[in-house]
Amino acid sequence: MQFGSFAPVKDKGIDVVGYNRNKFIALQIKTSKKHFDRYLPKGAQYSYWWEISKMLHREILSENVFYVFVGVHFDKRERNAIDYDFFIINSLELEKLFADRKFKYDSKNQKWRVEVYLDKYSNRFLSAYDVTCDLSGFHNAWWQLVR
């Protein structure tokens, strides 16, 4: 099977478009903000957070649009990147999580704050806003992009 990709000339929320003979997919890539010790939820080994604009999210919402949340894991002492985690979530699935209030919404700035942490007891990636929301199934779920 042949695959290809390209970056759109004008970025309106889509960073990369990939294709094969069967379909096109679009990726919105978000890199985590820096999180150091003082921001860690209780019981967390480490955590990540991203902001998602409500307006932009609604514009790109589609079954063929995926968010790739890149979590940059920092060394606490040296404060440099030592590892990465990737969370691949279909935009429609993310919309359900937003509707179910699994993440904090800032109504003043019209943005969701997606916060994820690795729980040191269960070894699962959980939403810091709603700990019943387990995001481990999205962790390194690259298979979603080729099915």
CA 4 to chain centre: 23
Question: What pTM, to 2 d.p., does this model score?
Answer: 0.85
Residue 116 pLDDT exceeds 70 = yes
pLDDT value of residue 1: 44
Report which listed range, 9-13, 35-39, 46-50, 127-131, is most confident.
127-131
Q: What is the pLDDT of residue 9?
A: 47
The residue extents of the domains of the chain are: 4-145
Torsion of CA 94, 7, 31, 106, to 10 degrees: -50
Q: Which pLDDT value is given to residue 44?
A: 86
Q: How far is CA 55 from CA 26, 33, 52, 90, 107, in A?
A: 17, 20, 9, 17, 12
Residue 71 phi/psi, 5° resolution?
A: -100, 120
Nearest to 86 by CA among 75, 103, 66, 72: 72
For residues 93-119, one letter each, b for 16 or more C-beta atoms within 10 angstroms of the residue's C-beta and e for the rest, the string is bbeebbeeebbeeeeeeebbbbbbbbb
Q: What's the pLDDT at 80?
A: 73
Q: Name the residue with tokens 């269960």.
A: 122
Specify the fold of 4-145.
Trna Endonuclease; Chain: A, domain 1 (3.40.1350)
What confidence tens digit (pLDDT) does each residue in 47-93 have? 889 999 999 999 989 999 999 999 987 776 767 777 889 999 999 99
